[in-house]
Amino acid sequence: MTDFRKEFISFCIDCGVLRFGRFKTKAGRMSPYFFNAGLFNDGAMLGHLGQFYAKAILAADQPYDMLFGPAYKGIPLVASVAIALAQAGHNVSYSFNRKEAKDHGEGGQTIGAPLAGRVLIVDDVISAGTSVRESVQLIEAGGATACGVVIALDRLERGVGERSAVQEVRETLGLPVTAIADLDDLVQFLGAKPALSQALIEIEHYRQLYGADAHA
């Protein structure tokens, strides 16, 4: 596991963003862990989070021209990532969307830099892929091209069928998806933490029940 992935998981646990216990998912499943990016809710945490995104983007070495953050969670994320990339010597523009188009003032549905070229979408997770699909439509309507998605955590969990939401995005939209860390990284991290051995056992059992088929 790349060092920044291990550091990211530790950071999420320390911030209370990644928790272990019993949590009901949107799909009605009882998950032994819960990841809530909305709890990155102060300046220090958001700044640190942006640095992890930047490291994942740079490690993926994927060509892109600008960043896009889908409202609402993607708005602070895309701003923090743009700042972190600039600090790392990669200054790029970014934009985000309004939930409803504005019909006065400057008008339009996006705020920030005009959509242009290859656009990398920055989001927290991919649950059903709805946010990504809406973002792709908006980006294409603006005359640009969505070139990929970067998220914080990939649960590697299947949806209705055998594939995960991330696999659906990769295959149906043809977009590469980069995650700072995924469930495999979490399992590896927990394996080195005896104090979290019970969490590891429960997560392994959950993955047997709901893990996505990598070959689906």
CATH number at residue 63: 3.40.50.2020
**The pLDDT value given to residue 161:** 81
**The pLDDT value given to residue 188:** 96
Say if 20 falls within a structural domain: yes
Band (106; pLDDT cuts 50, 70, 90): low
Element (H, E) at 198: helix 197-210
Average pLDDT, the chain: 92
Mean pLDDT of 34-45: 95
| Cβ density class 131-168: b for 16+ within 10 Å, e for less | bbeebbebbeebebebbbbbbbbbbbbbbeeebbbbbb
Mean pLDDT of 18-41: 93
Domain tally, the chain: 1
Q: Pairing state of beta strands 118-122 and 145-154? A: parallel
What tokens were used for 25?
């998912």
Could you list the residue range(s) of the whole structural domain that residue 82 is in? 3-210
Say if 216 falls within a structural domain: no
In sequence order, which residues have a C-beta less than 8 Å from that of residue 152 and are 6 or more positions away?
8, 35, 37, 49, 52, 53, 124, 125, 179, 180, 181
pLDDT tens digit sequence for 139-180 = 999 999 999 999 999 999 988 788 898 999 999 999 999 999
Residues tagged active-site: 102, 104
**The pLDDT value given to residue 103:** 55
**The pLDDT value given to residue 2:** 76
Say if 171 falls within a structural domain: yes
Q: Is the pLDDT of residue 213 over 80?
A: no
Q: What percent of the chain has pLDDT over 90?
A: 81
Say if 53 falls within a structural domain: yes
164: region left, alpha or beta (phi > 0 left; psi from -120 to 50 alpha): beta
Say if 109 falls within a structural domain: yes
**The pLDDT value given to residue 7:** 97
Instruction: Evaluate whether 210 touches 160 at the Cβ level (below 8 Å).
Output: no
Largest pairwise CA distance in the chain: 58
**The pLDDT value given to residue 19:** 97
Say if 106 falls within a structural domain: yes
Give the Cα-Cα-Cα angle 34, 175, 107 (nearest 5 degrees). 85
